[in-house]
Amino acid sequence: MDQGPRGPRRGRPRPHPARPRDPPRRGDRGRAHRAGARVNGPAGAPEGRLAGRLAGRLVALGVTGSIAAYKAPELVRLLQAEGADVVALLSPSATRFVAPLTLAALTRHTVEDDVLALLPDGRIGHIVAADTADAVVVAPATAHWLAAMATGLAGDVVTATCLATAAPVVVAPAMDGEMYSHPATAANVRRLREDFGYTVVDPEAGPLASGSTGVGRLASLPTIIDAVVAAVSGRPIRAPDPTMRPPAAPLPREADLTGRHVLVTAGGTV
């Protein structure tokens, strides 16, 4: 019976305050990581890294110099949400649209953006990517990149990786409508499809960066994801080889803000 300010008070007992949840122990976190659990994954992603249609796959994502390159970070997240490990490859012009640091932070792998660069152990970076990837995805692919790839040029890390890999290649073009409808571009796309066996995800119609409207917009990201899933379907997962590419290190979770909810604003929302 509670004691109110005027004496004993009858009624239902007051509920006990909810007991706060105990923070995860460091040992438990380590066991979860060793079991393959995703640490700090994207919102809405499955808890386990091995969950999803691309479970256990390594996807090499090539980005070329189109305005649609700004969608690359979101494409990385969607690939990860499907269970894939992602390594990013940037052409020189792509670095003017998306920073290598952005993709390095999201993928937790060094970004390959120099065709002549060597790994710390002396191996060639794009050859390692070509040898270990289960699929190579080029999104967005510019008209220039399509022409270079169709003729077998290897002037950037994206074309060099595609030339060196035996994995399926998925290409998603993005450019101005007049450029995409040009006979030269059409011939290059046809060559990639028919002679190289690449999967080409056709661009969509809509407003373009030039202000005009036409066919040339990058296909929707879920459409690209579906094409990647179809490309690797039925293929065995390449056995992980730690000497080829070490797994991405998890970000630390035991920190001063563990268990806190933080609201971040980047300015006015009205």
> Do residues 164 and 126 touch, judged by C-beta distance below 8 A?
yes
And the tokens for 197? Answer: 């066996």
In a domain, residue 203? The reply is yes
Domain carrying residue 135: 48-232
| Residue 84 scores a pLDDT above 70 | yes
pLDDT score recorded for residue 42: 35
> Do residues 187 and 195 touch, judged by C-beta distance below 8 A?
no
In a domain, residue 56? The reply is yes
| Residue 89 scores a pLDDT above 60 | yes
What are 210-243's pLDDT values in tens digits? 888 888 899 999 999 999 999 999 888 875 554 4
| Residue 121 scores a pLDDT above 80 | yes
Phi and psi (nearest 5°) for 187? -65, -40
More confidently predicted of 10 and 66: 66
| Residue 251 scores a pLDDT above 70 | no
% of the chain surpassing 70 pLDDT = 74
% of the chain surpassing 90 pLDDT = 60
Looking at residues 184-190, what average pLDDT do you find? 98
Show Cβ contacts of residue 181 under 8 Å, excluding neighbours closer than 6 positions.
214, 215
Looking at residues 95-99, what average pLDDT do you find? 97
Q: How many CA atoms lie within 13 A of 106 on its CB side?
A: 24
In a domain, residue 80? The reply is yes
In a domain, residue 206? The reply is yes
Looking up tokens 């640091």 gives 101
Looking up tokens 């300015």 gives 267
In a domain, residue 184? The reply is yes
Is the pTM for the entire model greater than 0.85? no
Query: Domain tally for the chain?
Result: 1
**What average pLDDT does the chain have?**
82
d(CA 122, CA 144): 30
> Do residues 162 and 136 touch, judged by C-beta distance below 8 A?
yes
The band of 254, judged by pLDDT with boundaries at 50, 70 and 90, is low
Residue closest to 124 by CA, chosen among 72, 89, 149: 89
| Residue 36 scores a pLDDT above 90 | no
∠268-98-210 over CA atoms, to 5°?
80
In a domain, residue 258? The reply is no
What are 104-120's pLDDT values in tens digits? 999 999 999 999 999 88
Between helices 143-150 and 183-194, what is the axis angle to 10°? 50
Residue closest to 91 by CA, chosen among 102, 100, 79, 104: 100
In a domain, residue 41? The reply is no
In a domain, residue 226? The reply is yes
| Residue 30 scores a pLDDT above 70 | no
Phi and psi (nearest 5°) for 191? -65, -40
The band of 269, judged by pLDDT with boundaries at 50, 70 and 90, is low
Show Cβ contacts of residue 34 under 8 Å, excluding neighbours closer than 6 positions.
none
pLDDT score recorded for residue 215: 87
Residue 215 belongs to domain with CATH number: 3.40.50.1950
Show Cβ contacts of residue 14 under 8 Å, excluding neighbours closer than 6 positions.
2
pLDDT score recorded for residue 238: 76
- Strand partners for 63: 90
CA-to-CA dists, residue 12 to 1, 18, 108, angstroms: 8, 17, 54
